Amino acid sequence: MYGGVEVGRYFSCGRGAEIGVAPHPLTGLSTHGFTVNNAWFPGIMGYGQADGSAPRIPSKGTTRIGHDVWIGAQAVVMPGVTINTGAVVAANAVVTKDVAPYEIVGGVPAKHIGYRFDEDIRQRLLASEWWNLDHDLIQRLPYRNAVQALAALEEMSGRSQLTNERNHEANWSASPQLGSVTGSRARACYDAAPFLSLKHTTYFSVYDHLFSRFIGKAPVIVEVGVLNGGSLYMWREFFGSDARIIGVDLNPEAVWLREDGFEIHIGDQTDPQFWEDFFRQVGDVDILLDDGGHTYPQQIVTAASALDHIRNDGLLIVEDTHTSYMTEFGGPSDTSFVSWAVNLVHGVNHRFSAFVEDEDPELRVWSVQFFESIVAFHVDRTLATVVSQSTMNDGAGRDAKDFRYRSDRTMTDDELRGYFRH
């Protein structure tokens, strides 16, 4: 470290890094140090002693390193730069401009690579000022997981963001843009959960899109696969304290979650009898989310058993449907879960009037949505049983002719298959 460097707490640095490097003069005969330091030519009488004989090097100001900053080996930080709290500088980088809180930079000159956390978490960490806490308190936190440690800090301080924002639901977007987790309510609740949960980044936008209309309406939620507990806490925050949240797991150790007010049922999701008994006890539900074992029997039996017990305008959600394409699960297969879901879509389309007499139409599910790794079944028996009839309004006609088969262009099956990319 050179002169004029300020360093915060919990700073760490790799070997050979240089911080606040002294600049070289650019306006003299040479950039060499002899133009500013007469020690280079001590034998020359009067060298460097006359007024104005040495070029002035303009000061770049203080170089500031925030709290919890990591600077990699052989990195160079130029003078006057501020590296804000939580930032990371990659090895061998040359930092020539300020680095934002929790930003990761690297390269020559250093450029933005990413952030350690989402913006919501970054702001809450900065607000916590955890680096000013006594060591005795820090060591009692779950500090190996920043989000869990933050939640514990906020609970202790009585200013949990999620608790406060529950009283300001209008601040949350009712339908965040798909594909983005910025500002995602689901992601914020997930990050704040005090226990482990595993979700893919693409899921949070789907949750926001599908579940926002249930917030604050005391829905009945069932999730399959809950042993670690984090997801149940996530849903409690997401839907509100009045939601009835029920967990299902095959592992009997999951009953520990009952201690915090969750209903827990232990059973095998591939057993239709288990589901019959379950719904006899629980009654109909608004949402069933299957995040269980992800095998085809587990997913198919669960979905088939639940559909009759989802309330009108409710949802059946099956996650991790990418297993339908994975060889370790037996895919691709015509008995995979995705194949079952497509088969159900056939039933939806067989409600069309031309087929309904000869086929077995699907009269519970109004529509099916396919997302990446998630299939959502929208249950509405009222809409699903609307009679399909051809209609014609009273507008003026033009005696238009049907040119459906007038095209000179014909295509073989092989040519059409060229459009089937997947």
The residue assigned the tokens 């669960």 is: 302
Higher-pLDDT residue of 415, 28:
415
183-231 pLDDT, tens per residue?
A: 689 999 999 898 988 899 999 999 999 999 999 899 999 999 998 899 9
- Asked if residue 247 belongs to a domain, the reply is yes
C-beta pairs of 244-251 under 8 Å, 24+ apart in sequence: 244/218, 244/219, 244/220, 245/221, 246/220, 246/221, 246/222, 246/282, 246/285, 247/222, 247/223, 248/222, 248/223, 248/224, 248/278, 248/292, 249/224, 249/225, 249/292, 250/292, 250/293, 251/227
Residue 175 has pLDDT above 70, yes or no: no
What percent of the chain has a predicted confidence (pLDDT) above 70?
Answer: 86
301-327 burial by CB neighbour count: b if 16+ within 10 A, else e? bbbebbbebbbeebbbbbbbbebbeee
- Asked if residue 310 belongs to a domain, the reply is yes
User: Cα separation of 412 and 422, whole Å?
Assistant: 19
CA angle 235, 153, 256 (to 5 degrees): 45
Residue range 232-247: average pLDDT? 95
Question: What's the domain count of the chain?
Answer: 1
378 is catalytic: no
28-58 pLDDT, tens per residue?
A: 777 777 776 666 666 666 555 444 555 555 5
What percent of the chain has a predicted confidence (pLDDT) above 90?
Answer: 61
Measured in whole angstroms, how far is the alpha carbon of residue 130 from the centre of its chain? 24
112-159 pLDDT, tens per residue?
A: 999 999 888 898 899 888 998 888 788 888 888 888 888 888 777 654
- Asked if residue 70 belongs to a domain, the reply is no
- Asked if residue 266 belongs to a domain, the reply is yes
H or E stretch at 12: strand 12-13
Task: Report yes or no: 285 and 222 within 8 Å, Cβ to Cβ.
Answer: yes
Look at residues 319, 348, 306 and name the one whose alpha carbon lies nearest to residue 211: 319
User: Cα separation of 63 and 43, whole Å?
Assistant: 36
Question: How far are the Cα atoms of 48, 175, 183, 186, 330 from residue 179, in angstroms, in the given order?
Answer: 64, 12, 12, 13, 29
- Asked if residue 197 belongs to a domain, the reply is yes
Residue range 68-73: average pLDDT? 94
Q: Where are the alpha helices (DSSP H) in 78-229?
A: 119-128, 135-138, 146-157, 161-165, 185-192, 203-211
CATH code for the domain of 284: 3.40.50.150
Range of the domain at 186: 176-384
pLDDT of residue 20: 85
For residue 394, the number of C-alpha atoms closer than 13 Å in the C-beta half-sphere is 0
Helix axis angle for 296-306 and 272-282, nearest 10°, is 40
- Asked if residue 257 belongs to a domain, the reply is yes
- Asked if residue 93 belongs to a domain, the reply is no
Look at residues 362, 358, 364, 325 and name the one whose alpha carbon lies nearest to residue 345: 362
Look at residues 220, 243, 230 and name the one whose alpha carbon lies nearest to residue 199: 230
The catalytically annotated residue of 24, 32, 112, 200 is 24
- Asked if residue 162 belongs to a domain, the reply is no
